[in-house]
Amino acid sequence: MRDTGDKLRRIAAAVRGRCLFDEPLFRHTSFRIGGPADLLVAPADPDDLRTALKALDRKVPSYIIGNGSNILVSDRGIRGAVIWIGKGFRQFERRGGLLKLGAGHSLPGLVDQCRALGLSGMEWAAGIPGSLGGALVMNAGAYGGQMADVVESVFGYLPSGKPAELSAPEIKFSYRRARYPSGFVITGCRMKLASGNPAAIRRRMDKWLGKRRANQPLSLPSAGCIFKNPEGDSARRLIGLAGLRGRRVGGAQVSAKHANFIVNYGGARAADVRKLMDQVTKGVRRECGVQLAPEVKMIGEW
């Protein structure tokens, strides 16, 4: 433990970006839930990330986060280093419809930038509060669109610090899934968008944003849809059918507005959310005979 502490201090001394010890992760998740990370590192740029990876030397446990909008961090937090891919990764290069983008862009900001340039293909992502890096890991999607439709390749670093670029076919995108080498840290991607009229793009974005506002409990902290949709069905429908809408454990509640959202009603702990997820999984299995799989990533010490 003391050994790991020394290594973490050496990492903090080696990188140029911000380093925070014992940083509570509820400050970095859309759920507003999560215990402390031993060390949170925000590399200043891709070179600085490489320095951090080399200093980690694959000996200190590490975890990557983007905007923290699809993770449930345990109450005890994360031992080792958490690397935040954010501000230092906002490259934006354009040649016609081809874009080279940093993983630290937030999706809503990126979608709006594309709209202003008359680039179409990402409108569906307008209200998704993730980073581009997180969206590439999750193959984020909504309203018939998904990352796989626009991505040409994804680049980043292997845990050794060696750069690598993978083509879209190599990544094998599928529903809320993508395959990368173990420990791969995404720093950006190449994307191909079509040209479009900014006003028409705006109208499509507004349509999807309106649907979100009407259907999702956006005034309370959450991680979006908590379970994946089973093939040919909707988790929201099944959870409703099983009579679990509004079910509560501690500060966590199955949203009455959208049954596939668990919301932090106030002071929810990760343990509350997990317990509620267990109850929902069991209830749906019992009432509907369907096994739900979580979409949210559960991380840390449980």
Ligand X SMILES: Cc1cc2nc3c(=O)[nH]c(=O)nc-3n(C[C@H](O)[C@H](O)[C@H](O)COP(=O)(O)OP(=O)(O)OC[C@H]3O[C@@H](n4cnc5c(N)ncnc54)[C@H](O)[C@@H]3O)c2cc1C
Q: Which residues bind ligand X (CB under 6 A)?
A: 30, 63-71, 85, 103, 128-131, 133-135, 137-138, 140-142, 185-186, 216, 218, 222-224, 297
> Quick check: 175 and 190 in contact, CB under 8 A?
no
Closer to ligand X by Cβ: residue 96 or 237: 237
For the chain, count helices (H), then strands (E): 8, 19
Shortest Å distance, C-beta 109 to ligand X: 12
Shortest Å distance, C-beta 45 to ligand X: 13
> Quick check: 38 and 8 in contact, CB under 8 A?
yes
**What one-character-per-residue DSSP string does 245-276 give?**
TT-EETTEEE-SS-TTEEEE-SS--HHHHHHH
Closer to ligand X by Cβ: residue 177 or 275: 177
Tell me the backbone φ, ψ of residue 174, rounded to 5 degrees: -145, -175
Position closest to ligand X via CB:
134
d(C-alpha 138, C-alpha 296), whole Å = 10
d(C-alpha 302, C-alpha 293), whole Å = 19
Shortest Å distance, C-beta 266 to ligand X: 17
Closer to ligand X by Cβ: residue 64 or 205: 64
Shortest Å distance, C-beta 46 to ligand X: 11
Closer to ligand X by Cβ: residue 67 or 286: 67
Shortest Å distance, C-beta 130 to ligand X: 2
Closer to ligand X by Cβ: residue 257 or 285: 257
